[in-house]
Amino acid sequence: MESFKEKIPMLVAGIVAVLLIVGAYYILFVQKTIYYVQIDNTKIEQVSNSDDMKYQYTLTAYNKNGKSKEVQFKTSRELREDAYLELEVMAVRGVYGWKEVQPEDLPDKVKAEMNVE
């Protein structure tokens, strides 16, 4: 029985280490946040002539609660002026996906921040 009691600290340390690794993986690679932007083609720059992703946008984005954040993302082409996009953002990877949405599909707090009627 004495040997089991001696192993308890190592067992607890192992469990804590596994939980920390799983938690870090989730935060860095699984958890995503949705942000919304309106395309402004004055905020685009050409970053490559040969890459598939030739253009980079730097825009102010809003989450569903209306909190703003500056985001950068690359595209293969210029996007439609004034289009609204829903962005999928991860802590480490940044913007990894987007799709166009209609103004009526924006959350109310985002509409208020973007002055959408």
10-52 per-position pLDDT tens digit: 888 888 888 888 877 777 776 789 999 999 999 999 888 778 8
54-83 per-position pLDDT tens digit: 999 999 999 999 999 999 999 999 999 999
Give all strands (DSSP E) within the chain, no chain letters: 32-38, 44-46, 55-62, 68-75, 84-90, 94-101
pTM of the model: 0.75
Domain boundaries, the chain: 1-30, 32-114
**What Rg do the C-alpha atoms of the chain give, in angstroms?**
21
What is the per-residue pLDDT for 22?
Answer: 83
What is the per-residue pLDDT for 2?
Answer: 65
- By C-alpha distance, which of 58, 63, 100 is closest to 80? 100
What is the per-residue pLDDT for 65?
Answer: 94
Residue 22's φ and ψ, nearest 5 degrees, are -65, -40
Domain 32-114 has CATH 3.40.630.10: no
What is the per-residue pLDDT for 93?
Answer: 79
